[in-house]
């Protein structure tokens, strides 16, 4: 089976190479047969990589410990769900998994567009096949998943070997959330190849600018959505499982996943400028190129160990392959841009600072500033070593100092942007649109200040959050009121109708609202409290409105682990509210310790209790309790963002066609052809966007 | 002054502000990386820098004293006594023999005062250290995550 798997991978590699070469030949010679053949080869890659993945999974499920990768990541007792997920637990398997997801996207893109855009698709096929060729090179020649165990006998002759048991999957990964996190992120990373391919293809083929954006809009949103889910799952896992009370540490690998998300967000917004006003063409093309390159950089940072992070201390040579691919990609992109740059001339200019274009420009500016800051901070140790010889790293204060003001400004733009008109907004319109939301925001700020919110950033976040929410609400309300007056339906039905007529716009507003919730959740951070105390039986700890009483503590033994556990009773304002059981587990096989955090989560705050250890003198448990306000808003906001994206992906409900019968055949039948429209067709308008 | 100029001026102000913030944040958090061997050669101003040092925890050296944890890091034969004075619990992966990264400063008596400790064994994404053969099961080798972040990515 390993031979089947390896062979399938090799064939996939050859198919990808063929797709590139035949595709290029088809474009140059304009022979559709070559183009079709190239497309079929591109689709065949998916089938072949699927076979390879199936082979590897087969080894996991049959406990075949003659394969090195299976030995390293599985054992007999591992539940089936985790055996499946062990596929992406290590370097070789996760690269195979990456290739597989990429091939799924490529297959879908080629298949769904097989009868459309015949001038563009050949180029798209070549670019996608090129990217696939790189990853398949890694799969076949650099990080092969099907290596077999072999050892020398006494005479020095190598023989195939087989273990009776594997090392098992690290317990830290044996959680459903941790299993889903990499696939989501990979779907995001690989998904950004699609808009990249279309952008490069459109540039190379000099295809009409707005059409390629229109085609890729949904693909970009899908990739962005997966990336968002992946990032939030990682943050939630870190929060719930690692016991330090936080969810984001500006670790290089975390930053690596954030970078393409930032440029992807900028891209999703700036394309609207190109669609509506033919502006920013060069910018958009480079933005999507950069997003793709950041995806490659991201996976390189994670795998190569070039920047020290809690994820990786050691060095690996695979980084040089990624650097090589990045250089090739950049050269190709730049060459394509240079050759065709006159085709990217803007149709229009910026007319006024008080316009939607301006808000998009500022949106892009600060998102790129954030991206640059995070990239700079992440790569600083590498750069400083080159320049100065000493490795200097920067920590959370740097990232927070720059990104918090950026985030707040972004929040402001989120409220202001949609209410500004294209080209120029009149002063009257400004006053009308902003008066109430602005007043509401300021009012919320005053209430917050009186209530004790003194941290300036949190206060600003509150004011802006309320401001944005009110602008979103006013958008829904005003549109719905028009429909309601015309159709006589109630306001909520009208809101539904309004949304379905322009899902992209109103789905986008829902996403904005989700981001507001996330920001408010993050704004609770300055008000975190924590307390650590040794607590024997009967001792208690007070934090906020809670009193935590240690009722008992004990040791548990199971066949996987031994555990130290505390049984705590929590009183709120004097009344017994709940029981919490924080634990500290030691897994026998791997000798790994894991903290089982006890969290009681409510919309207002999370009570987060950690069994920090046993006091070395008295043997009493050391309990570390945290009070973390508003954390739940982050996860809830994340769900709203995903739902909003789903909404925005839905096709618009078309307005009704009113048809009159084409009866006018009295003049020489030609009238039917020359009559442009049969009856009154209400054109589907993309809203007053 | 047309809109384009106004935009450029606005951008300039924003970028200047961010650069100022970045500079302040940088100076507040910049941390130099040194090996234990280098530490003894540091003099003057560079001794007062905030720094990170990595090494392996010498087996048996971990001691929990009243408000801190003392241990010894070794690398290439040289030792560094460390005291961890931070509030957060030590990461789960911190134990004898673990590879650790400490962040803090060096005291005049050549003792290192650490405010942060990260500990880790080689993740599965990295090549196995030289000298281990796949045939020998390595219990310690399969762990991940220090102040612990997932290796999955």
Tens-digit pLDDT profile for residues A211-257: 888 888 899 999 999 999 999 999 998 898 888 888 998 988 899 99
Distance CA B92, CA A2 (A): 37
**A361 vs A453 pLDDT, higher one:** A361
Residue appearing with tokens 């700079």: A376
Element (H, E) at A452: none
Strand-pair partners of A626? A530, A608
Average confidence score pLDDT of chain B: 73
Closest Cβ–Cβ partner in A163, A311, A361 for B151 = A311
Closest Cβ–Cβ partner in B129, B135, B153 for A151 = B135
Q: Which residue of B has its CA nearest to A405?
A: B18
Determine, for residues B31 and A149 on separate chains, whether the beta-carbon distance falls below 8 Å.
Answer: no
Predicted pLDDT at A209 = 64
Q: Which residues contact B10 (CB under 8 A, 6 or more apart)?
A: A353, A362
Whether chain B has a CB inside 8 Å of the CB on A120: the answer is no
Q: Mean pLDDT lowest for which of A452-456, A512-516, A628-632?
A: A452-456
Closest Cβ–Cβ partner in A402, A532, A593 for B87 = A532
Distance CA A105, CA A575 (A): 55
Strand-pair partners of A543? A546
Contacts 24+ apart (CB under 8 A), B135-141: B135/A149, B135/A151, B135/A161, B135/A163, B137/A163, B137/A165, B137/A167, B138/A167, B139/A167, B139/A589, B139/A590, B139/A591, B140/A590, B140/A591, B140/B97, B141/A167
| CB-CB contact of A411 with A519 (8 Å) | yes
Strand-pair partners of A657? A681
Whether chain B has a CB inside 8 Å of the CB on A246: the answer is no
Contacts of B10 in chain A (CB under 8 A): 353, 362
Contacts of A358 in chain B (CB under 8 A): 3, 7
Whether chain B has a CB inside 8 Å of the CB on A161: the answer is yes
Predicted pLDDT at A426 = 78
Residue appearing with tokens 């290029």: A24
Q: What is the dihedral of CA A185, A188, A191, A193, to 10 degrees?
A: -90
Contacts of B133 in chain A (CB under 8 A): 151
| CB-CB contact of A87 with A183 (8 Å) | no
At CA A515, angle to CA A104 and CA A101, rounded to 5? 10
Predicted pLDDT at A682 = 43
Contacts of B123 in chain A (CB under 8 A): 311-312, 314
Contacts of A70 in chain B (CB under 8 A): none
Q: B83 CA to chain A: closest CA distance, Å?
A: 16
Q: Is the pLDDT assigned to residue A609 strictly greater than 50? A: yes
Measured from the Cβ of residue B148, the count of other Cβ atoms closer than 10 Å reads 27
Residue appearing with tokens 């064939």: A11
Q: Which residues contact A236 (CB under 8 A, 6 or more apart)?
A: A177, A247, A635
Tokens linked to A507: 């789905």
Predicted pLDDT at A659 = 58
Q: Which fold has domain B29-123?
A: OB fold (Dihydrolipoamide Acetyltransferase, E2P) (2.40.50)
Predicted pLDDT at B139 = 30
A684-to-A422, A489, A652, A658 alpha-carbon distances in Å: 20, 21, 9, 13
Q: Is the pLDDT assigned to residue A417 strictly greater than 50? A: yes
Distance CA A54, CA A437 (A): 55
Strand-pair partners of A530? A626
Distance CA B99, CA A22 (A): 50
Q: Is the pLDDT assigned to residue B12 strictly greater than 60? A: yes
Whether chain B has a CB inside 8 Å of the CB on A72: the answer is yes
Q: Considering just the CA atoms, what is the radius of gyration of chain A in Å?
A: 29
Q: Taking residues A465-472, what's their average pLDDT? A: 93
Predicted pLDDT at A310 = 60
Predicted pLDDT at A673 = 43
A171-to-A63, A145, A168, A254 alpha-carbon distances in Å: 18, 22, 8, 21
3-class secondary-structure state, position A284:
helix
Determine, for residues B101 and A313 on separate chains, whether the beta-carbon distance falls below 8 Å.
Answer: yes
Q: Taking residues A147-155, what's their average pLDDT? A: 81
Tokens linked to A244: 């330090």
Distance CA A209, CA A282 (A): 10
The secondary structure of residue A309, as a DSSP letter, is B
Q: What are phi and psi of A6, to 5 degrees?
A: -60, -40
pLDDT band of A311, cuts 50, 70, 90: low
Contacts of A73 in chain B (CB under 8 A): 124
Closest Cβ–Cβ partner in B3, B18, B125 for A351 = B3
Distance CA A74, CA A89 (A): 10
Evaluated on CA atoms A354, A360, A361, A365, the torsion sign reads positive
Tokens linked to B55: 């090494």
Q: Which residues contact A155 (CB under 8 A, 6 or more apart)?
A: none
Contacts of B34 in chain A (CB under 8 A): 390
Longest dimension (CA), chain B: 74
pLDDT band of B122, cuts 50, 70, 90: very low
The secondary structure of residue B3, as a DSSP letter, is H
Q: B61 CA to chain A: closest CA distance, Å?
A: 14
| CB-CB contact of A172 with B145 (8 Å) | yes
What are the boundaries of each domain within chain B?
A: 29-123
Q: What are phi and psi of A684, to 5 degrees?
A: -75, 115
| CB-CB contact of B71 with B63 (8 Å) | yes
Tokens linked to A330: 């950049």
Q: B91 CA to chain A: closest CA distance, Å?
A: 9
Distance CA A25, CA A30 (A): 8
Distance CA A516, CA A641 (A): 10
Predicted pLDDT at B74 = 86
Q: Which residues contact A394 (CB under 8 A, 6 or more apart)?
A: A377, A380, B25, B26, B29, B30, B31
**A524 vs A150 pLDDT, higher one:** A524
Q: Is the pLDDT assigned to residue A190 strictly greater than 60? A: yes
Contacts of B125 in chain A (CB under 8 A): 90-91, 94, 302-303, 305, 311-312, 316
- Interval A620-675: pLDDT, tens: 888 889 999 999 999 999 999 999 999 999 988 876 555 555 554 444 444 444 44
A667-to-A659, A663, A676, A680, B66 alpha-carbon distances in Å: 21, 11, 16, 21, 103
Q: Mean pLDDT lowest for which of A162-176, A460-474, B76-90?
A: A162-176
Q: Taking residues A18-42, what's their average pLDDT? A: 93
Q: Taking residues A397-415, what's their average pLDDT? A: 92
Distance CA A419, CA A471 (A): 8
Q: Is the pLDDT assigned to residue B149 strictly greater than 70? A: no
Cα–Cα nearest to B71, from B52, B98, B48 = B98
SS (HEC) of A78-119: CCHHHHHHHHHCCHHHHHHHHHHHHHHHHHHHHHHCCCCCCC
Distance CA B95, CA B113 (A): 18
Predicted pLDDT at A535 = 83
As a residue count, chain B comes to 153
Predicted pLDDT at B42 = 74
As a residue count, chain A comes to 689
**A101 vs A563 pLDDT, higher one:** A101
Q: Which residue of B has its CA nearest to A161?
A: B135
Predicted pLDDT at A226 = 96
Extended beta strands in A545-604, E state: 546-557, 561-572, 575-580, 583-587, 592-596, 598-601
Task: Give the whole-number percent of chain A exceeding pLDDT 70.
Answer: 93
Q: A401 CA to chain B: closest CA distance, Å?
A: 6
Average confidence score pLDDT of chain A: 86
Work out the burial of residue B8: count CB atoms within 10 Å of its CB; fewer than 13 is exposed, 13-18 middle, 19 or more buried: exposed
Q: Which residue of B has its CA nearest to A91?
A: B125
Whether chain B has a CB inside 8 Å of the CB on A149: the answer is yes
Q: Which residue of A has its CA nearest to B99?
A: A313
Distance CA B116, CA A654 (A): 58
Q: Mean pLDDT lowest for which of A444-458, A486-500, A666-680?
A: A666-680
Cα–Cα nearest to B54, from B121, B109, B108, B110 = B121
Predicted pLDDT at A660 = 56
- Interval A478-490: pLDDT, tens: 888 888 888 888 8
Predicted pLDDT at B133 = 30
Predicted pLDDT at A324 = 93
| CB-CB contact of A662 with A525 (8 Å) | no
Predicted pLDDT at A389 = 79
Contacts of B139 in chain A (CB under 8 A): 167, 589-591
Distance CA B58, CA B61 (A): 6
Interface ipTM > 0.90: no
- Interval A53-98: pLDDT, tens: 999 999 999 888 888 888 888 888 788 888 888 898 888 899 999 9
Render A128-151 in DSSP notation, one character per residue. HHHHHHHHHHIIIIIS-TTPBPEE
Q: B77 CA to chain A: closest CA distance, Å?
A: 19
Render A511-553 in DSSP notation, one character per residue. HHHHHHHHHHHHHTGGG-EEEEEE--TT-EEEETTEEEEEEEE
Q: A449 CA to chain B: closest CA distance, Å?
A: 25
Tokens linked to A559: 């066949």
Cα–Cα nearest to A519, from A476, A457, A471 = A457
Closest Cβ–Cβ partner in B4, B118, B123 for A349 = B4
Contacts of B39 in chain A (CB under 8 A): none
């Amino acid at each position: 089976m390993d031979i089947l798997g390896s062979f399938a991978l090799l064939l996939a590699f050859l198919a990808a190479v063929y797709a590139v070469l035949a595709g290029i030949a088809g474009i140059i010679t304009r022979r559709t047969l070559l183009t079709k053949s190239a497309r079929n080869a591109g689709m065949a890659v998916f089938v072949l990589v699927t076979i390879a993945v199936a082979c590897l999974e087969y080894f996991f499920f049959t406990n075949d410990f003659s394969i090195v990768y299976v030995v390293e990541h599985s054992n007999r007792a591992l539940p089936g769900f985790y055996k499946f997920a062990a596929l992406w637990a290590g370097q070789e398997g996760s690269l195979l998994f990456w290739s597989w997801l990429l091939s799924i996207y490529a297959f879908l893109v080629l298949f769904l567009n097989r009868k459309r855009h015949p001038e563009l698709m050949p180029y798209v096929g070549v670019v996608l096949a090129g990217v696939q060729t790189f990853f398949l090179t890694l799969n076949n020649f650099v990080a092969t998943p099907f290596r077999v165990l072999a050892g020398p006998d006494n005479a020095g002759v190598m023989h195939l070997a087989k273990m009776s048991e594997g090392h098992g999957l690290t317990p830290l990964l044996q959680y459903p959330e941790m299993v889903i996190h990499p696939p989501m992120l990979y779907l995001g990373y690989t998904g950004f190849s699609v808009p990249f391919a279309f952008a490069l293809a459109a540039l190379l083929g000099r295809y009409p600018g707005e059409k390629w954006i229109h085609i890729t809009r949904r693909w970009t949103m899908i990739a962005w959505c997966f990336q968002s889910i992946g990032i939030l799952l990682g943050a939630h896992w870190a929060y719930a499982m690692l016991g330090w009370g936080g969810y984001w540490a500006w670790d290089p690998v975390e930053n690596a996943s954030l970078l393409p998300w930032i440029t992807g967000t900028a891209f999703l917004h700036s394309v609207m400028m190109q669609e509506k006003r033919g502006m920013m063409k060069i910018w958009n093309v480079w933005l999507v190129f950069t997003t793709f390159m950041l995806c490659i950089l991201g996976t390189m940072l994670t795998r190569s160990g070039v920047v020290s992070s809690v994820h990786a201390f050691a060095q690996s040579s695979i980084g040089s392959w990624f650097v090589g691919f990045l250089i090739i990609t950049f050269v190709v992109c730049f060459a394509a841009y240079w050759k065709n740059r006159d085709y990217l001339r803007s149709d229009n200019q910026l007319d006024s600072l008080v316009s939607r274009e301006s808000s998009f420009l500022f949106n892009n500016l600060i998102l790129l500033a954030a991206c640059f800051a995070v990239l700079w901070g992440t790569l600083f140790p590498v750069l400083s070593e080159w320049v100065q010889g000493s490795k200097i790293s920067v920590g959370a204060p740097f990232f927070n100092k720059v990104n918090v003001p950026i985030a707040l400004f972004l929040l402001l733009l989120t409220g202001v942007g949609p209410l500004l008109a294209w080209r120029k907004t009149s002063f009257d319109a400004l006053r009308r649109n902003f008066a109430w939301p602005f007043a509401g925001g300021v009012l919320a700020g005053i209430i917050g200040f009186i209530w004790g919110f003194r941290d300036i950033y949190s206060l600003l976040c509150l004011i802006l959050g309320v401001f944005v929410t009110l602008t979103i609400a006013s958008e829904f309300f005003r549109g719905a009121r028009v429909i309601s007056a015309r159709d006589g339906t109630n306001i909520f039905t009208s809101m539904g109708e309004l949304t379905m007529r322009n899902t992209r716009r109103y789905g986008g507003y829902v996403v904005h609202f989700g981001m507001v919730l996330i920001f408010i959740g993050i704004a609770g951070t300055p008000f975190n409290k924590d307390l650590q105390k040794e607590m024997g039986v009967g001792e208690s700890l007070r934090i906020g409105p809670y009193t935590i009483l240690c009722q008992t503590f004990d040791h548990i033994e199971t066949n996987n682990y031994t555990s130290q556990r505390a049984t705590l009773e929590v009183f709120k304002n004097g009344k017994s509210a709940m029981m919490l059981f924080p634990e500290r587990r030691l897994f026998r096989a791997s000798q790994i310790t894991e903290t089982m955090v006890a969290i009681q989560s409510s919309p207002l705050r999370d009570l987060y209790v950690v069994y920090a250890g046993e006091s070395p003198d008295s043997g009493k448990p050391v309990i570390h309790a945290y009070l973390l306000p508003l954390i739940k808003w982050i996860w809830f906001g994340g769900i709203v963002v995903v739902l909003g994206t789903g909404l925005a992906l839905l096709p618009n409900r078309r307005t009704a066609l009113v048809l009159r019968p084409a009866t006018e055949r009295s003049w020489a039948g030609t009238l039917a052809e020359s009559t442009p429209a049969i009856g009154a067709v209400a054109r589907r308008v993309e809203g007053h966007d | 002054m047309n809109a384009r100029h106004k935009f450029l001026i606005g951008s300039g102000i924003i970028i200047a502000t961010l650069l100022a913030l970045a500079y302040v944040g940088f100076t507040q958090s910049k941390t130099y990386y040194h090996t234990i061997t280098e530490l003894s050669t540091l003099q003057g101003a560079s001794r007062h820098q905030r720094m990170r040092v990595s090494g392996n925890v010498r087996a048996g050296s971990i001691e929990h004293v009243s408000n801190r944890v003392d241990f010894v890091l070794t690398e290439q034969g040289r030792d560094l006594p460390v005291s961890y004075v931070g509030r957060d619990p030590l990461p789960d992966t911190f134990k004898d023999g673990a590879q650790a990264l400490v962040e803090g400063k060096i005291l005049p008596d050549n003792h290192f005062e650490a405010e942060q400790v990260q500990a880790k064994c080689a993740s599965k994404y990295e090549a196995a250290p030289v000298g281990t053969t796949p045939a020998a099961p390595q219990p310690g080798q399969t762990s991940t995550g220090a102040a612990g972040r997932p290796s999955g990515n």
